[in-house]
Amino acid sequence: MDLDLKDKVALVTGASHGLGRATALLLAEEGAKVVVNYRSSAERADEVVGEIKDKYGIEAISIFADMSKEDDIMAMFEEIDEAFGRIDILINNAAYCPICQVADMTEKMWNYTLQVNLTGTFLCCREFVKRLLDGSQPGRIVNISSQAAFRGSTTGHAPYDASKGGLVSFTISLAREVAQKNIVVNCVAPGLMDTEIMAPALHKNRQKYIERVPIRRIGKPEEIARVVVFLAGKGSDYMTGATVDVSAGLAMH
């Protein structure tokens, strides 16, 4: 299927590793120019950019922005304007996930998690949508939620779970706002996945988690990224406000 992504400009937040990295590479494979956002590792982000250029001959750049800071996010979009003159696709992937039981959690920890995961996504969407509306331009937004939005957790991830639930609601609200402007907004809710966020839990109890999954294995970032990239392309023209479960059967409905 041709997803009509050639020469589109896509921003992937938190793209130096994990699902973000896998998504950035697949977008480039489909011909999109990619902005690799990072916060903590310029080296890893530059490695993703280098891999995109070497494998696919596609233009790509890395841009620092801390998703907890409005000024950083606004500066990132201004840098994209200067580099490409446009933006077509936004993948909100960056996330923070502390490990702490609610009884021991500080307000600062709670607020920072929501600031990165939920407010950071709002700010990226605001800057993206403003640009599309100013140019009467179509676009695609894909927000990355989690099965934790619906299932919660017992291992101390309450603010992360709450923020991911908020992303589902925000996706619906924004999708309604921009539906008649040729901007579609969808969400992906991955299940268990081999990423840095999941690494500590999987290291301790991998078999326990595997037994929860009907397919009986942990997902690879590339498997979730394929669905993200599909939603970024023209194959999803008749979808908006949807949350797609990519969970190997953890969610069935």
The pLDDT, as a whole number, for residue 213 is 73
- For residue range 185-227, what is the model confidence (pLDDT) as tens digits? 999 999 887 777 666 666 567 776 676 777 787 779 999 999 9
- For residue range 152-167, what is the model confidence (pLDDT) as tens digits? 987 889 999 999 999 9
53 belongs to a structural domain: yes
- Does residue 69 register a pLDDT over 90? yes
Of 83, 84, 82, nearest in space to 7 by CA: 84
156 belongs to a structural domain: yes
117 belongs to a structural domain: yes
Domain range spanning residue 198?
Answer: 9-245
Query: Is 121 or 249 the better-scoring residue by pLDDT?
Result: 121
**Residues in a beta bridge with 243:** 187
41 belongs to a structural domain: yes
Instruction: Please list, in sequence order, all residues whose beta carbon lies within 8 angstroms of the beta carbon of residue 89, skipping any fewer than 6 positions away.
Output: 5, 8, 9, 10, 11, 27, 32, 139, 140, 141, 142, 232
The pLDDT, as a whole number, for residue 12 is 98
- Over the chain, what is the mean pLDDT? 94
* 56, 160, 209, 238: the active-site residue: 160
253 belongs to a structural domain: no
Instruction: Please list, in sequence order, all residues whose beta carbon lies within 8 angstroms of the beta carbon of residue 117, skipping any fewer than 6 positions away.
Output: 67, 94, 95, 96, 160, 163, 164, 166, 167
250 belongs to a structural domain: no
- For residue range 86-143, what is the model confidence (pLDDT) as tens digits? 999 999 999 999 999 999 999 999 999 999 999 999 999 999 999 999 999 999 999 9
Q: What is the CATH number of the domain that holds 134?
A: 3.40.50.720
Residue 238 bears catalytic tag: no
78 belongs to a structural domain: yes
Both tokens of 103, joined, read 């009884």
What are the C-alpha distances in Å from 101 to residues 178, 197, 238? 38, 16, 41
Classify burial at 60, counting beta carbons within 10 Å of its beta carbon; exposed 0-12, middle 13-18, buried 19 or more.
Answer: buried
Among the residue ranges 12-16, 147-151, 165-169, 241-245, the one predicted with the least confidence is: 147-151
252 belongs to a structural domain: no
Helices 107-114 and 158-178 sit at what angle, rounded to 10 degrees? 30
Domains contained in the chain, number: 1
The pLDDT, as a whole number, for residue 176 is 98
Query: Is 151 or 194 the better-scoring residue by pLDDT?
Result: 151
